[in-house]
Amino acid sequence: MSALRDAWRSLRRRPSSLLGLGLIAFFAAVALAAPVLAPTPAGTRDAYLIPQDGYSPDPVLPSRKHLFGTTEQQYDLYYGMVWGTRTAFKVALFVVLTSLLIGVVLGGAAGFYGGWIDEGLMRFTDIVLAFPDLVLAVVIVSVTRPGLFNVMVSVMLVSWPSYARLLRGDVLSIKERDFVAAARALGASDARILFRHIIPNCIYPVLVVASLSMGRIVITAAALSFLGLGAPVGYADWGQLISLSRNWILGASGSPFAYWHTLFIPGAAIFLFVLGWNLLGDGVRDILDPRQQGT
């Protein structure tokens, strides 16, 4: 408990971290309150499908009826933004947690067992790292069929190597400590030594990197949606709403900013969401790694 209080105290000292926390708290509130903020029209089979108001292709500016206006094919932007917040959290949390898990297991095993296991796992890590990550993700999504879940899996598959590499290095130094030898002398199993004794002692740097990579993951997933590989058209997803705005950025003849809202609103949401994670990540780094303070 006191650790939490300490964390809160040092977070409070930095206005930028507080801003980050505020942004994430705001988006979390929107995500939780989505059914209240943007009630799903009766008879819709999936709440994430954005309601359409007619079939005219041209976007319509914000009005009382559509708070943020509509985008291509009359999808309601307000509804898309609110439910898109849920999608954004879902993608970010899923990818970070699963890629952390893979990274910790593979990196931990490589550092702990050494020898050919280490050699094999680390060369494999090098190979995945050598890929241009967006291209690999695009290949994976394309061969497995576009869709939101496949986007999450493919981003996970390209995100774990940096965690694995970082953790392996720390495991290498921790496993030589006396308390590991003591645990072994007491007859603890390999898995117990690794997961109860070694990893808890070297997980912090990995957690710091994970909290800092949250924003990057959101951007990568949105980029895949932007390329048209994500959820089907009309699904509440910020990256896709931005790709829908692509045809309208030049405006109408005579008024170049006629459809500014189609790009600006989802763009601002994604920017603030990522900014929130980045500012918060900086704060977390300062708490968990005091040596880096103020840099």
Partner 1 sequence: MGKFILKRLALLPLVLFGVTALLFCVLQFLTPEMRASLYVRDPRQLSALDAVIEKYGLRKPVYVQYGLWLKQVAHGDLGYSETAKMPVADAVKAFFPATFELTLASFFPILLIGVYFGVLSAVHKDRWLDQLTRFVAVTGYSLPSFVLGLLLLMVFYGKWQLFPPGRYGLETDLLVHGDAFRHYTGLLTLDTLLNGDVAAFADVVKHLVLPAATLVYIDLALLLRITRSSMLEELGRDYVRTARAKGLPERTIVRRHALRNALIPIVTLSSLLFIGLLGGVVITETVFDFPGIGRWGVIAAQQLDIAGVLGSTLLAAGLFVLANMASDILYAVVDPRIRVE
Binding residues (CB under 8 A) for partner 1: these are 16, 123-124, 126-132, 134-136, 138-140, 142-144, 215, 219, 222-223, 226-229, 242-243, 245-246, 249-251, 256-257, 260, 263-264, 267, 270-271, 274-275, 278-279, 282, 292, 294-295
Shortest distance, position 244 Cβ to partner 1, whole Å: 11
Shortest distance, position 222 Cβ to partner 1, whole Å: 6
Closer residue to partner 1 in complex, CB, 97/129: 129
Determine the Cα–Cα distance for residues 55 and 234; give it in Å rounded to an integer: 12
Shortest distance, position 142 Cβ to partner 1, whole Å: 6
Shortest distance, position 275 Cβ to partner 1, whole Å: 4
- Amino acid letter for position 156: M
Closer residue to partner 1 in complex, CB, 104/274: 274
Percent helix, strand and coil across the chain, each to the nearest 5: 75, 5, 25
Query: What are the tokens at 168?
Result: 């392996």
Closer residue to partner 1 in complex, CB, 194/229: 229
Contact 240, 226 (CB under 8 A): yes
Shortest distance, position 251 Cβ to partner 1, whole Å: 5
Determine the Cα–Cα distance for residues 220 and 172; give it in Å rounded to an integer: 31
Determine the Cα–Cα distance for residues 137 and 107; give it in Å rounded to an integer: 21
Closer residue to partner 1 in complex, CB, 2/295: 295
Chain centroid to CA 157 = 13
Determine the Cα–Cα distance for residues 124 and 121; give it in Å rounded to an integer: 5
Closer residue to partner 1 in complex, CB, 138/174: 138
* Residue whose tokens read 């189609």: 262
